[in-house]
Amino acid sequence: MTVRKGTLLTPAVEEGTPLNVPRVALVGANGHGRWHRRVIGPLHDAGRVRLVALVDTRPIEPEPAAPVPPDTRVFTDHRAMLGEVAPDVVVICTPPHTHLSIARDAVTAGADVLLEKPPVLSTAEHEELAGALATTGRVAQVGFQALGSAALTALTDAVAAGRVGAVRGIATVAAWQRPDAYYSRAPWAGRRLLDGRPVLDGALANPLAHAVMQCLAVAEAVAGGPVEPATIEVERYRVRPIEVDDTAVLRVRPCQGPPIVAAVTLAGEDFVAGEVLVAGDAGQAVLEYPTDRLLLPGEAAASEVPGRCGLLENLLAHRADPRVPLIVPLARTAPFTAVLTALRSAPEPTLLGDELLDAVGAGPQRVLRISGVNEVLRRAVRQGALPSELGVPWAVAPWRIDLTKPE
């Protein structure tokens, strides 16, 4: 596809186009941005939005499921786009360490934003963005799309109704696999820092961030309000010479409410999509959040709870009527960002020895797997314990921080 920077293929506003249709721009149109193009495309075709601009530092990749509309402008710089196009909504799907500056520029230019997760990488950045939203009167929706699931609502409603009894613990387990190519996908992949700036591209912060956020959402329902972490403990491991974790067990003890344990890996033996487990006096509820399958106490088998509210559609509905609440306003992600802030201070993840690993495949598609890791993660969530507390031979002492004590 050949598109010159900032040029129009056809006139910007065709005759008969409603002027009040929200104008949407996507910053970061390649990679995962193609998923956003597949979301925006049908809305554009239905006349609910106009995709006015795509921004990426590389040539725009073709996406057969969502061809670029002929009047969409293409830029390599988001500031130039904001100045020339003036969109109403900006979807931001760029590396995490660039989110704050792009979102700040967008809201200052008068746009609302849909910001991919993780939204920002520290509580200080969260507060800076919140201040920019307050000053400009704009809003930010954060791309934790699983929070728009009817299955999650069914789970939190069941918890509130006492279906699991008094909640003793909330946990999540996920075992994925990522090949060597995953860590060469971008200069920031697998990095803790890039050019002196935090990146934190670890399993907890990026690919399995949804698992952590789902637990925080359940804890929010149990506590009846925002979750404030009191202590954070974590054991972080890696199977390659990267700077961040690909395997981790995290335990968060909130100021109020039950403890949360997240046990995740990108070097799993068998695939576990991602489960949220809520243990109570009356039994255990299990939500497989990527598939919206839910099992409640007293039920023989999990069943799918259909229905998801798209975050862009929800943002558009909120813009049309502010009485429609955002599903994932920036404020709701503050506990998640508090966890990331703590992880920034954690030591380098432990590199596991070759004797613990086996390899599948070759070349860029080689996958490394940790022998026995799935059972370790399962035990961690069942017992609410860290691997070192379970006597796992390769485990190391956890890193711990008490957020209730002044620095």
Tens-digit pLDDT profile for residues 261-274: 999 999 999 999 99
Tens of pLDDT, residue by residue over 13-42, are: 444 455 689 999 999 999 999 999 999 999
Q: Which amino acid is at 77?
A: D
pLDDT at position 13, please? 41
**Is 389's pLDDT higher than 90?**
yes
The whole-number average pLDDT for the span 115-131 is 96
The whole-number average pLDDT for the span 122-150 is 97
Tens of pLDDT, residue by residue over 64-109, are: 999 999 999 999 999 999 999 999 999 999 999 999 999 999 999 9
In angstroms, the first-to-last Cα distance of the chain is 53
Helix (H, G, I), strand (E, B) or coil at 195: coil
Tens of pLDDT, residue by residue over 215-226, are: 999 999 999 888
Which of the following CATH numbers is that of domain 23-145: 3.30.70.270, 3.40.50.720, 3.40.350.10, 3.30.565.10?
3.40.50.720
Radius of gyration of the chain (CA): 22
Tens of pLDDT, residue by residue over 345-354, are: 899 999 999 9
Query: CB-based contacts of 180: which residues, under 8 Å, 6+ apart?
Result: 240, 363, 364, 365, 366
Q: Identify the sign of the CA torsion 358, 171, 142, 98.
A: negative
**Is 214's pLDDT higher than 90?**
yes
Domain 146-306+329-402 top-level CATH class: alpha beta
Question: Which candidate, 107, 86, 105, 103, places its Cα nearest to that of 94?
Answer: 103
The CATH 3.40.50.720 portion of the chain extends over 23-145
The CATH 3.30.360.10 portion of the chain extends over 146-306+329-402
Query: What pTM was computed for the model?
Result: 0.90
